[in-house]
Each structure stands twice: as C-alpha cells, then as structure tokens.
Amino acid sequence: MNKDEILNKLTPAAKEALDELSQEYYNGLLEKAFKIAQRRQTVDREISLRDIIEAQDRELKGKSNIEGYQDRKKRWSTLISLSGATYAAAGITIYLWQNNKFNIEQDLGLIIAIVGILITLVGYFYAQILPKRMISIGNYKESEVAVTSDSDLDLVKRWQIIERLASEKLSDKDKHSFRSILQYLSENYTSSDNEMMKLKQLLDLRNRILHESYGLSKHERTEYLEFADNLIDKLEKTKKTTAHNKH
C-alpha cells in the first residue's frame, strides 16, 4: 500500500489532526533551526540545511532524554514501593517470631497483611520479567534486523543527504554508484589527502553501521558528524550558487 492509498483512508478529522501535528513539528523545528543559526551567527544571511539537521537531532534527542527520565522515575518509584513491602514483611515476621505463638483467629489481620505483601512482591517481579520477555521475543522475531542506536544512525542520515546533493550533479548512470559519488566528492570537495581519507572513512562507517551494527565511539561520532556537516554546507552552497547563476 503506497502513501496516497494510506492518506485516502484517513477521515477528515484524522487528516486535520495530522496537519496540525505536522505544522506544530514544523514550527518547533524552524524555531530551533533559527536559534542554531543565531548561535552560529549566520541567521542574518541564511538558515542552512545543516541548521535544520542539527535542530532535528536535538528534537529527537530531547524526546529520548524525557523518556529516559520517565523510565528512571518509574524505576525509583517501584524500588521504593518494593523496599516498603520488604520492610513490612520483615516486621511482621519478627513480630510473630518474638511472640512465639500463632493463632489464626487472633492473627487474621497479620495473615491478610502478609498475603497482601506477597501479592505486591509477585506483581513487582512479574512487571520486571514480562517486559524483558517481550523484548526478548521481539529480538528473536527480528533477529535479522540490525540494531543500531539513534546517534549512530545520525551519520547514516548525513550520508543520505550528501549522496542526494552530490547525485544532482551526476548523470543518471552515475548517480546510483557509490564509486562515482565518492570520486565526484573527492575531486570537488576535498583539499587534502587527509580530507579524502576521511571521506572514504565516512562511507565505510556508514556501511558498517548499516550492515554490521557497528557502534561509533564518542570521538568518531563527534569527528565524522562534524566532517559530514561541513561537507553538506559546501554542497548546499554549490547548489545555491548554481541556482543563482541560472537566474
């Protein structure tokens, strides 16, 4: 089912809600890109593709941080509840041991309390085990799918943009060839052997992330994202100059 067929199935209310969400995301992304351009002191001249990409990265990472905070808050809350139930169970056990006698009629309240605590503990361990089991089942069903962190995929996204911008300058035959794209970029956008090597390594890292689930080190992520962003800047300027010359 293609995109148009899916859109045609939306009710008018669903389309309206989707448009509002799209506009909200658009406005948020534009505001972040504007602030990034202000920080880079280029806002008076332009808001570049690099600014938009960085704004999108911040948007996604911001959501990830919020989810992480909520998960930590939930774990702490559960841990405190578990600690309370454990202390209560220990207190009741010590009380019964110190009295050295047990009567069902007289200690019915204690029995109910113990059962309640046991149910709490069982519920806690069930809640901990079930999500892990579901994740395990999901991983088994999708064992052939590479698992890569979002921050590593940022590098793959950068290469896709570089590839798209570079292919606009190539013939239909060459635009789908990594070798042709790499040759074009090397000849026109590298000024030293070091930059040429980094360009090849950028493509190599992209392939390793996609096909080997390779995890970037913090240094690699910082270095090659910066290199990719600078390359995107150069490609975008070339595109802008070409469009200006046509007019």
CB of 33 closer than 8 Å to CB of 47: yes
Cβ burial 151-174 (10 Å sphere, 16+ → b, else e): bbebbeebbebbbebbbebeeeee
- Buried/exposed code over 101-128 (b: 16+ C-beta within 10 A; e: otherwise): eeeeeebeeeeeebeebeebeeebeeee
Cα distance between residue 38 and residue 70, in whole Å: 31
Cα–Cα dist 220/215, whole Å: 10
* String of DSSP letters for 203-235: HHHHHHHHHH-PPPPHHHHHHHHHHHHHHHHHH
Count of CB atoms within 10 A of residue 33's CB?
A: 22
Q: Give the tens place of pLDDT for each residue, 199-234.
A: 999 999 999 888 888 888 888 888 999 999 999 988
Q: What whole-number percentage of the chain has pLDDT above 70?
A: 69
Q: Average pLDDT in the 173-199 region? A: 88
In sequence order, the 6+-apart residues with CB closer than 8 A to the CB of 229 are 50, 53, 54, 158
Q: What is the pLDDT of residue 198?
A: 92
148: pLDDT confidence band, cut at 50, 70 and 90?
very low
pLDDT at 141 (0 to 100): 41
pLDDT at residue 244, rounded to an integer: 67
Mean pLDDT confidence for 45-49:
85
Q: Which residue has the tokens 């088994």?
A: 140
Reported residue count of the chain is 247
Query: Is the confidence at residue 136, as pLDDT, over 70?
Result: no
Q: Are 214 and 205 in contact (CB under 8 A)?
A: yes
Q: In the prediction, which pLDDT does 142 show?
A: 37
Q: How many CA atoms lie within 13 A of 60 on its CB side?
A: 12
In which band, very low, low, confident or very high, does the pLDDT at 125 lie, cut at 50, 70 and 90?
low
What's the whole-number mean pLDDT along residues 149-154? 71
The pLDDT of residue 144 is: 36
61-67 long-range CB contacts below 8 Å, 24 or more apart?
61/150, 61/151, 64/150
pLDDT (average), residues 137-142: 42
Q: Looking at residue 202, what is its pLDDT?
A: 92
57 exposed, middle or buried (CB, 10 Å; 0-12, 13-18, 19+)? Answer: middle
pLDDT at 143: 36
Residues 79-117: tens digit of each pLDDT? 776 777 777 777 777 766 766 665 666 666 666 777 777
Q: Highest mean pLDDT range out of 88-92, 132-136, 151-155, 178-182? A: 178-182
Strand, coil or helix: 23:
helix
Residue 49's CB: how many other CB atoms inside 10 A?
18
Residues 6+ apart with CB under 8 A from 29: 52, 55, 56, 59
pTM of the model: 0.53
